[in-house]
Structure 1
Amino acid sequence: MAAGLLAVGVVAWFTALCAFDIRHRRLPNALTVPGAVAVLCGAAVAGRGWPALAGAAALLAVYLLVHLAAPAGLGAGDVKLAPGLGGLTGAFGVDVWMLAAVGAPLLTGLLAVAALARGRSDPVPHGPSMCVSASLAIAAAW
Structure 2
Amino acid sequence: MSDALPIGLVVSVTAVFGLIIGSFLNVVVYRVPAGLSVVRPASACPECRHPIRGRDNVPVLSWLVLRARCRDCGVRIPARYPAVEAVTGVLFALVAWRVLKAAAVTDGSTTAHLTVAIALLYLMSISVALTLIDLDVHRLPNAITYPSAVVLVVLLVIASALGGDWGALWRGVLGAAGLGLFYLVLAVAVPGGMGLGDVKLAVVLGFVLAYLGWGPLAVGAFGAFLVGGIFAVVLLLTGRARWRGGVPFGPAMLAGAWIGVFFGTSVWTAYVTVLGLA
Residue 44 of structure 1 corresponds to 157
1 CA distance for matches of 2:215 and 2:118? 24
TM-score relative to the length of structure 2: 0.48
Fraction of identical pairs, as percent = 35
Shift of 1:118: 2.5
Structure 2 counterpart of 1:31, from 144, 153, 175:
144
Task: Confirm or deny that 1:100 pairs with 2:220.
Answer: yes
Q: When you count helix as a share of all residues, which structure comes out higher?
A: 1
Q: Is the CA contact (8 Å cut-off) linking 1:43 and 1:52 kept in structure 2?
A: no
Please list every run of 5 or more consecutive structure 1 residues that lacks an aligned counterpart in the other structure: none
1:68 paired with 2:191, answer no
Aligned-partner residue type, residue 137 of structure 2: H
Shift in Å, 1:92: 0.9
Deviates more, 1:66-75 or 1:31-40: 31-40
**CA RMSD, 1 decimal:** 1.7
**CA distance in structure 2 between the aligned counterparts of 1:121 and 1:24, rounded to whole angstroms:** 13
1:56 aligns with 2:176: yes
Unmatched tracts of structure 2, length 5 or more: 1-113, 161-167, 267-278
Rounded Cα–Cα distance in structure 2 between residues aligned with 1:23 and 1:121: 12
Q: Does 1:134 align with 2:257?
A: yes
Greater relative contact order structure (CA < 8 Å, 6+ sep)? 1
Q: Is the 8 A contact 2:180 2:199 kept in 1?
A: yes
1:81-108 CA deviation, whole Å, 9 max, x = no partner? 1110000101011111011111112211
Measured against aligned partners, the alpha-carbon deviations of 1:31-54 in whole angstroms (never above 9, x if no partner) come to: 111212222222222223201101
Distance 1:114 1:133, change over 3 A: same
Larger CA Rg, structure 1 vs 2: 2
- Normalising by the residue count of structure 1, what TM-score does the alignment of the two structures yield? 0.90
Decide whether aligned partners of structure 1 residues 61 and 138 sit closer, same or farther in structure 2, where only a CA change above 3 A counts: same
Q: Secondary structure at the match of 2:191?
A: coil
Distance apart, 1:62 and its partner CA: 0.1
